[in-house]
Amino acid sequence: MNNLKIIGLACLILFLFNCSQDEIFVEEQSAQTTETIVEYAKRDGLKPIGSGVMMQAFYWDVPAGGTWWNTVNSKVADWSNAGIDAIWLPPASKAQNGPFSMGYDPFDYFDFGEYNQMGSVETRFGSRTELTKLIDAAHQNGLSVIADIVINHNSGGASEANPYAGGNTWTDFNPMSGNFYRSANDFHANNIHSNDSGAFGGYPDLCHNQTYVQDWLWNNSNSVAKYYRDVIGFDGWRFDYVKGFEPWVVKAWKDEAGGFAVGEYWDSNVSTLDWWTSTAEASAFDFACYYKMKDAFMGNNLTVLNDNMLWKQNATRAMTFVANHDTDEIINNKILAYAYILTHEGYPTIFYKDYEEWLNKERLNNLIWIHNNLAGGTTNILHADTDEYIARRNGYNNAGLVVYINNSDLWQERWIETNWSNTIIKDYTGHSAWEPTTQYGKWVKIQAPPKSYSVWSVK
């Protein structure tokens, strides 16, 4: 009899556990309807990519001399503590300009600073050993590492007779790594077609319809994608100049190699960005948001923040940014633009120079904390005029927030409707000392300092 009781009790516990697990699964599914879907890194111990903020860990013309990997290595622990979940590195393999190249003229995809070619052993950023030490350090601190992938064009090939061009072209690639030899057949024009979506800068334009190219870039067990992932240790991909090839290329790469993927589709048209992300099944940098912020903060007209952006169309695929290595046009009141992307939907990126040199790091760290702890759920714009912008995040697994951006020269105050009734709230930026109590109808008066912002939530 006692044994039967024990068995029955065990069955009951198992049943309740399974029901509990089912409830958790349902809750997690419902979260995906109101919150950005994060992609979990493959390696154990890493923060989910998309749960925090990405750091662009370089800028154009970082110091040459092979020191950059060590510089970034010295910062990953602090970035992780601040709430960064991933770092984006520049193209890491050997390029035509050797020790002076920023990597966007790729020559040997398998030389990370170990072969004496193109004028140096190391890349501009350092040696292969220094790169893998950096990636190991990032992983130890819970950070994923995103590789900048340049597969539209190549540079540094020798001249060869090209039957498709009626003369010689610079398409003879013989890398010292011994991997991915290329010839005229692998570029446009060739025996398949004369071109794809777009060439870049006069460089030889890779043909992704060639099976040989597909095999070396992503299909083979020793392909570029799998070598970056399995040998060097990268966790995801930032695809350069994706206008130059069809979106199926990114999808095929990701289907084969996995990992987080974001494309640089430089276009402010929201429908175009949404089409590309859906077809490529990858994220895209929200250039629509970037240009609206430029109009808002450089043009001093915050009403344009009412306009459509990728994060409003599909937040799960939107990478928001204020500046990067190619664009730095939002100069006036740049911190207001960061207050915008770090309180709104999408996956925000911080530019190295802004964080480490140009802006107030304490204020950025505060906004990163706010993003990671308060900025959940859907968004409602509560007010927008030339000088003022107020939006509410409705919360998911957190209280949500109200952000008040003030681009005027004076303190401003407004009554707004919150999600909180009879609740004390405070400004988590510390810019306002007010701690008002919301009314029974959830209304409350908040304020924001001149040329600044405040972010309100439950005390």
**240 classed as catalytic:** yes
CA distance 350 to 364: 9
Pick the catalytic residue from 240, 274, 388, 427. Answer: 240
The answer to whether residue 130 is catalytic is no
Q: Is 333 annotated as a binding residue?
A: no
User: 385 labelled as ligand-binding?
Assistant: yes
For residue 232, report the phi and psi dihedrals to the nearest 5 degrees. -85, -35
- CA gap 398, 63 in Å, rounded: 42
Catalytic residue among 114, 136, 215, 264: 264
Residue ranges of the binding site for Ca(2+): 152, 385
Instruction: Catalogue the active-site residues.
Output: 240, 264
Residue ranges of the binding site: 152, 385
